[in-house]
């Protein structure tokens, strides 16, 4: 913990070279949320669009069948 915030650190050792990186947990959680939203919003919009088109197609087919039945 640094200044009351939890951090994660990773160290890569290759021979005599040590590379260390660190990030705060809060920033990582915010990044996870933004990636989740970026991936799920387009899928949700596409799903709603497909359902709307399916609804339009089924309403048109129902209308045609009731018109033919009355003739």
In the chain, what is the straight-line distance between the N-terminal and C-terminal CA atoms, in Å? 79
Do 24 and 7 meet the contact criterion of CB atoms below 8 Å apart? yes
Read off the pLDDT of each residue in 9-38 and give the average, rounded to a whole number. 91
pLDDT of res. 33: 92
pTM: 0.53
Tens digits of per-residue pLDDT, 31-71? 899 999 999 999 999 999 999 999 888 877 666 666 565 55
* Comparison of pLDDT for 39 and 2, the residue scoring more: 39
Domain residue ranges in the chain: 7-70
Predicted local confidence at residue 3, as pLDDT: 78
């Amino acid at each position: 913990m640094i200044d009351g915030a939890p951090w994660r650190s990773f160290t890569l050792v290759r021979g005599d070279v040590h590379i260390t990186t660190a990030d705060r947990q809060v920033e990582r959680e915010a990044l996870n949320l933004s990636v989740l939203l970026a991936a799920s919003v387009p899928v949700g919009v596409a799903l709603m669009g497909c359902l709307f088109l399916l609804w339009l197609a089924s309403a048109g087919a129902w209308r045609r069948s009731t018109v033919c039945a009355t003739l």
